[in-house]
A and B are shown apart, each in its own frame.
Chain A
Amino acid sequence: MDSMTVPAITAVNDFVVKFANVNGSGSASANEMFARAIVRMGVPVSPRNIFPSNIQGMPTWYEVRVSEKGWLGRRGGCDLMVALNAQTWDADVAEIEPGGYLFYDSTRPLKGKLREDINVIGVPLTAICTREFTDPNQRRLFKNIMYVGALAGLLDMEFEVVEGLIAQQYRGKTQLIDGNRAAARIGYDHTRTHFAGKIGLKIRRSDAVGDRIVIDGNAAAGLGAVYGGATVAAWYPITPSTSVVEAFTTYCRKYRTCPESGAARYAIVQAEDELASIGMVLGASWNGARAFTATSGPGISLMQEFLGLSYFAEVPSVIIDVQRGGPSTGMPTKTQQSDLLLCAYASHGDTRHVLLFPEDPHECFTMTAQAFDLAERLQTPVFLMTDLDIGMNERLSQPFAWDDARAYDRGKVLTAEDLDAGKSFGRYEDVDGDGIPWRTIPGTHPAKGAFFTRGTSRNAQARYSELGEDYVYNMERLRTKFETAKTLVPPPVAQPALQPTRLGVIHFGSTSPAMAEALDILAADGIYLDALRVRAFPFNAEVEAFVDAHDFVFVVEQNESGQLRTLLVNECEFDPKKLVKVLHYDGSPITARFIAGAISEAMNSPRLRPLIPTKG
């Protein structure tokens, strides 16, 4: 260990480890194992992939935030850099916090002068692998598990936990288990021998994880679609949504294969493009199946015309939008919340759509399942607005649960018995006063209930009509239906400040963990904010009441233009001056440091300063 100009960082269960790897080198599963080992020791972590749009050879990073307190947002900065990529070496070394640690493969000696304010830990990974293994593949791949072992030794972790994970990952493959365990052990013993007591970072067993699970949002959404009763999925591959349908496929094979015949109780079609994906969803939903697609911003752009048809023809559809950086062709592997306006008002004509904003994988599961109920109840498109940060990163989440007494809400569908019993049927008639008409499924009845589905240009009985009054009747009914939607979508979650305050903050989706931490930081500085996490559009009465109850409300978003704020101003007619933008949009997940900094700064403006209570 080199001499230091600043004190070495010391921390227990509260630091950030960042891995700098080469894409395609097999490091991903080793890195995930490192994060999971910490979870197994009862310490919360939030890992994040920072990766290029590339298959092999480009730089990729994996950041693991360890937080006993359970902060799951990205912290920013790095206390221990595992620098294994020569391409990005300089930038990686520069990113280490003063007093932090650099871990590297010391097989080749370092060239040039390093920073003097960091601690250097060299382990000759390549040399050890060459010495210990003869197979060239093993020499290459075991390097990964070896650094996991080395880090475990360095951070004083329990080796048995790493062993257990290896056994689980390679279950049934004894040779792989033995090889990986041996490699991990060599790494572990090496750092225990050479660096014991020389590093200030430590993982100590805790019980802060509870019964939480680790899963990524896309897998959770795929599972939610299984539980929500989806039978038809049509999709087109696009980062970062691809793994939603991949997960749906895996879970369907497992849970939806007919035990008697081995046949599939689902149909998954990889379409030729997103236009076809959404077209298939509409065809299947029109025909009485629950259907969905998963895509990202560029896909939503292509689906616009069909989304309008879904809205006006009142055919249910569920669209999972895993948002990424805009514009349409940009930043496929970076996160943003920049599709709100695109989805809320998708298509030509006067359209408004239901959006759901999950905060984590748990809500990706529950809200995806709920989306099918809402889509059929409301006979309209429903968007699950998740993002890359939630979708493609493993996240500590509340365990899944399902109420077995719950029945799917299939909405207002007339059966053959209803029609035989003399129930009158006008496809677009508002018979119940909630704006939602009744529908029939094709093939239901030999003589009654058939209708011709069109976008508009029809009357309440679904007959062709170009009359202005028929059009207006329809639009007014759709407006009523949108009001009904407000009562059905998930309500916001309020987090009141510890002291009475005239300031509020609204946030949504993946901002949630960083927001919780930011509120904590701000409160420590004497800045108290009532927080409201919006979970759906249209905004229901509680959202309106929250804004009305505060003098100023910060709106924290991960996009450049303040899209949620635009929706709030547009739909609720709030005074725009009252809603203060806090915007983060560089493609990285928002941090508590950023939110707290931006809000603190805004508090210094003459407009807001009088609202801060003076201390003491």
Chain B
Amino acid sequence: MTYIAKPRLGSEALPRNAAGFTRRDYEGRVSTLCAGCGHDSISAAIVQACYELDIEPHRVAKMSGIGCSSKTPDYFLGASHGFNSVHGRMPSVATGAALANRDLTYLGVSGDGDSASIGIGQFAHAMRRGVNLTYIVENNGVYGLTKGQFSATADKGSKSKKGVLNADSPIDLVALALQLGATYVARSFSGDKEQLVPLIKGALRHKGPAFIDVLSPCVTFNNHAGSTKSYDYVREHNEAVNRVEVVLQRHAIETSYAPGELRRVVQHDGSMLLLRKLGQDYDPTDRIGAMNHLHEHAALGEIVTGLLYVDEHADDLHKHLNTVEAPLNTLTDEALCPGNEVLQALNATLR
């Protein structure tokens, strides 16, 4: 692959969003991933979500660990700062960044190896700590860069490209996120952009830990018969609970759905999630119900997708720590340093 940027010519003619940016302004460098990789579809979905949300690109910080998925932040939001950290440790770096500046939008991109294997501790603690972060796992059940080893999300009995059956039980990050206190939990599929884009939009507007597990088939190492993370398998077993539409305050609410089909969830920042029911009755504000639903359907071999849980009253780590409204990285010397007079008074108490 080449590493040159895409030409920006002609972007003048493209439509602009309310913030004055074209879709191209949300793109990054040319991907170096394999052709057909699910991760590239997720990058495209992130671009579209940010464009549609009228986010200023430079107000997003992109955080990642190590792996194929963690390389992707270079391939979207080129005008944003990005931090490709160390394997499995994106959550702690994102936590520190979020502490330093509460005003940016934090987008963490990780993989199943990065989050469920080496990084499961940090994943768990970022969820329970309430970091205001959109945390996307691009889940393919396999290590790509090291050529095809199972990761911890690989299903028991799933077959590797070399024909080995996985004997270990899988870790379901969605189930964990629900149990650990994430306040926005979703699962989606890289091949279903219509479902994925609104879920990312809702997560980016959510205040608190928002987790999205995106099944994202690895075309090179895990897209064969016998794999439970292949395009075909995921399509056949996908059981969506709802369809989401994100409505910003300034947009008119579409009411094309029949009454009773829609459920409205207003988030902290005033944005509204419109949830259209699909099939069975599903309450996305019931954490325990969500956990039961997930486990019941997993036992049937189904992959439950959609917005599985959202807490309208979520808050975040800054609320818990009662930090000042101004980002900590903007505080002046005067606000930080108590000065010599205070020090001399302190000396007097130490004699």
Contact = CB atoms under 8 A, between A and B. Distances in A.
Interface of A: 39-40, 211-215, 223, 226-227, 229, 231-232, 234, 255-256, 258, 261-269, 271-273, 275-289, 291, 305-306, 309, 399-404, 407-408, 440-447, 450-455, 463-465
Nearest to A289: B100
A215 B348 CA distance: 12
Contact of B125 (A214, A271, A286, A401): A271
Interface string B161-202: 000000000000000000000000000000000000000000
Contacts of A282: 85, 93, 96
State the 6 A-B residue pairs at the shortest beta-carbon distance, nearest first: A283-B96, A279-B92, A289-B100, A280-B96, A442-B81, A288-B329
A511 to B, nearest CB: 24
A268 B104 contact: no
Given A264-B323, A453-B83, A399 B347 contact: yes
A267 B333 CA distance: 16
B322 A263 contact: yes
A283 B121 contact: no
B99 A271 contact: no
Contacts of A447: 58, 79
Given A267-B99, A441-B329, A443-B81, A404 B339 contact: yes
Contact of A272 (B63, B73, B125, B333): B125
Given A306-B86, A454-B84, A464 B339 contact: no
B160 interface: no
26 contacts: A232-B99, A261-B325, A265-B323, A265-B328, A266-B328, A275-B122, A278-B92, A279-B89, A279-B95, A282-B93, A283-B93, A284-B100, A286-B93, A309-B85, A407-B333, A440-B81, A446-B56, A446-B58, A447-B58, A450-B58, A450-B81, A451-B82, A452-B83, A453-B84, A454-B84, A455-B86
Nearest to B346: A400
Residue from the set A227, A289, A399 with the largest chain B CB neighbour count within 10 Å: A289
Contact of A450 (B80, B122, B124, B337): B80
Given A287-B61, A399-B347, A452-B82, A276 B92 contact: yes
A275 B89 contact: yes
B96 to A, nearest CB: 3
Contacts of A451: 81-82
Contacts of B318: 267
B78 interface: yes
A464 B100 contact: no
B79 A446 contact: yes
Interface string B105-145: 00000000000000001101100010000000000000000
Contact of B122 (A268, A279, A444): A279
Interface residues of B, number: 64
Contact of B93 (A231, A263, A279): A279
A281 B101 contact: no
Contacts of A291: 96, 99-100
Contacts of B32: 464
B335 interface: yes
B303 to A, nearest CB: 30
Nearest to B326: A265
A348 to B, nearest CB: 11
A333 B321 CA distance: 31
Contacts, number: 227
B101 A229 contact: no
Contact of B61 (A285, A306, A442, A455): A442
A287 B101 contact: yes
Contacts of B337: 226-227, 229, 402, 408
A113 to B, nearest CB: 45
A284 B61 CA distance: 12
B237 interface: no
A452 B28 CA distance: 11
Interface of B: 3, 29, 32, 56-59, 61-63, 73-74, 78-86, 89, 91-101, 103-104, 121-122, 124-125, 129, 317-318, 321-325, 328-329, 331, 333, 335-340, 342-344, 346-347, 350-351
Nearest to A308: B86
Nearest to A263: B324
B101 A288 contact: yes
A287 B125 CA distance: 21
Residue from the set A214, A282, A401 with the largest chain B CB neighbour count within 10 Å: A282
B342 A255 contact: yes
Contact of B79 (A226, A234, A450): A450
B336 A265 contact: yes
Contacts of A262: 322
Nearest to A453: B83
Contacts of B323: 263-267
A443 B317 CA distance: 20
B58 A269 contact: no
A451 B84 CA distance: 11
A289 B99 contact: yes
Contacts of A276: 89, 91-92, 95, 121-122, 125
Given A213-B350, A275-B92, A283-B83, A263 B325 contact: yes
A279 B96 CA distance: 7
Given A232-B99, A283-B98, A453-B83, 12 more contacts: A229-B333, A229-B337, A267-B323, A275-B122, A276-B91, A280-B96, A283-B93, A283-B99, A284-B328, A284-B329, A399-B344, A442-B101
A453 B57 CA distance: 16
B56 to A, nearest CB: 6
B151 to A, nearest CB: 20
B100 A288 contact: yes
B89 A214 contact: no
A401 B104 contact: no
B328 A231 contact: yes
Given A268-B321, A283-B100, A442-B97, A232 B81 contact: no
B59 to A, nearest CB: 6
